[in-house]
Amino acid sequence: MTELEDLEIQLLLEGVAQLYGYDFRNYALASLKRRIWNMVQSEGVKTVSGLQEKVLHDPLCLDRFLLAMTVNVTAMFRDPHFYQAFSAKVVPMLRTYPFIRIWHAGCSTGEEVYSMAILLHEAGLYDRCRIYATDMNAAVLSKAREGIYPLEKMQEYTGNYLKAGGTQAFSRYYTAAYERAIVRPWLREQITFSQHNLATDGSFNEFNVVLCRNVMIYFNKTLQEHVHRLLYASLTLFGVLGLGQAESLKFTPHEHDYAEVVQGQRLYRRMR
């Protein structure tokens, strides 16, 4: 049973990679399997092979597949302590640069990117920054570009923002209309959103800061190593890498090329 299941999954991922170029073959298997089975159910098919047939023959089903295979959960000022540490320890370093390039890899619907823009604005650095926000999924990217979020979320985000050390009224950063919070256009000015797949695309610039948070936990060791090499190659010397709360550089290829910036806060500086 499991052997057949594993074979079907392998064939499904192989087919999607060859036909569409989206490569999930090196995603962490345990959680990917659960998402595949959830989609088998939601598509009303019986087997993974049934799902394969649907995805390969119906491009609309591919769009659903991409969303179903990835986890897009995100929030503004998610893990407020991270932003606090960033303000305290990374911002002073950025002040010494005339121009600052930042990459959010796996930005999902953009909440993290706007949070960073707000932080940099309050630090008086935003004018000097260029933020590149990428994700492999065009659907979440277009939401990120719009910057429109449910108004009801703003209470939670305001709390996060204050815990992160925000100094203004959070409502300055959006306009409310029809149960929606729309991010102020000036906040979007320095941000470029574009499609980039960490599994298959290469490095496209050199950055002073790279944030890749809660993305690599969905990858297996092989793909994680590949991405760590890519991120390392995309950072300037003394550039800073930010990871998610449960991620670390332990057991990764460049573990010893970075120094921890703040203990426990998943911020690492490239030292060589």
Partner 1 sequence: MPYKLVVVGASLGGLHAVAALLGALSPDFPLPLAIVQHRHKESDETLRIVLQRSSGLAVCEVEDKQPISPGTACLAPPDYHLLVEQGTYALSTDEPEMYARPSIDVLFESAADAYGPNVIGVILTGASADGARGLATIKAAGGLTVVQDPATAECDVMPRAALDAGVADHVMPIPEIAALLTRLGTVVPKVGV
Tell me which residues touch ligand SAM (CB under 6 A): 70-74, 78, 106-108, 112, 135-137, 140, 197-199, 213-215, 218, 244
Smallest gap from residue 260 Cβ to ligand SAM (A)? 19
251 counts as binding partner 1 under rule CB under 8 A: yes
Q: In the block, which residue shows the tokens 């932080």?
A: 119
Which CB, 72 or 171, lies closer to ligand SAM?
Answer: 72
Residues in the chain, overall count? 272
Smallest gap from residue 161 Cβ to ligand SAM (A)? 15
Q: Which does 203 bind (CB under 5 to 8 A by kind): ligand SAM, partner 1, none?
A: none
Q: Which does 137 bind (CB under 5 to 8 A by kind): partner 1, ligand SAM, none?
A: ligand SAM
Instruction: With both helix axes pointing from N to C terminus, report the angle between 59-69 and 48-57 in degrees, rounded to the nearest 10.
Output: 130
Distances (CA, A) of 129 to 95, 240, 246, 247: 11, 15, 28, 26
71 counts as binding partner 1 under rule CB under 8 A: yes
217 counts as binding partner 1 under rule CB under 8 A: yes
| Binds partner 1 by CB under 8 A, chosen from 214, 227, 228, 234 | 214
Return the range that interacts with partner 1 (CB under 8 A); candidates 28-36, 53-61, 146-154, 167-175. 28-36
Which CB, 1 or 30, lies closer to ligand SAM?
Answer: 30
30 counts as binding partner 1 under rule CB under 8 A: yes
d(CA 266, CA 243): 5
- Two tokens, residue 87: 């303000």
Which CB, 78 or 101, lies closer to ligand SAM?
Answer: 78
Which CB, 80 or 106, lies closer to ligand SAM?
Answer: 106
Smallest gap from residue 22 Cβ to partner 1 (A)? 19
47 counts as binding partner 1 under rule CB under 8 A: no
d(CA 162, CA 159): 5
What is the three-class DSSP state of 189?
coil
Q: In the block, which residue shows the tokens 């399997």?
A: 33
d(CA 199, CA 119): 29
The number of angstroms, rounded, from the C-alpha of 76 to the middle of its chain's C-alpha atoms is: 12
Smallest gap from residue 139 Cβ to ligand SAM (A)? 9
- How do 191-195 and 235-242 pair as beta strands? unpaired
Smallest gap from residue 255 Cβ to partner 1 (A)? 13
For residue 196, count CB atoms less than 10 angstroms from its CB and return exposed for 0-12, middle for 13-18, buried for 19 or more: buried
d(CA 188, CA 175): 14
The number of angstroms, rounded, from the C-alpha of 50 to the middle of its chain's C-alpha atoms is: 30
Give CA angle at 216 (214, 220), nearest 5°.
140
247 counts as binding partner 1 under rule CB under 8 A: yes
Smallest gap from residue 60 Cβ to partner 1 (A)? 23
**Binding stretches for partner 1 (CB under 8 A):** 2, 28-31, 33-35, 71, 73, 214, 216-218, 220-221, 224, 244-248, 250-251
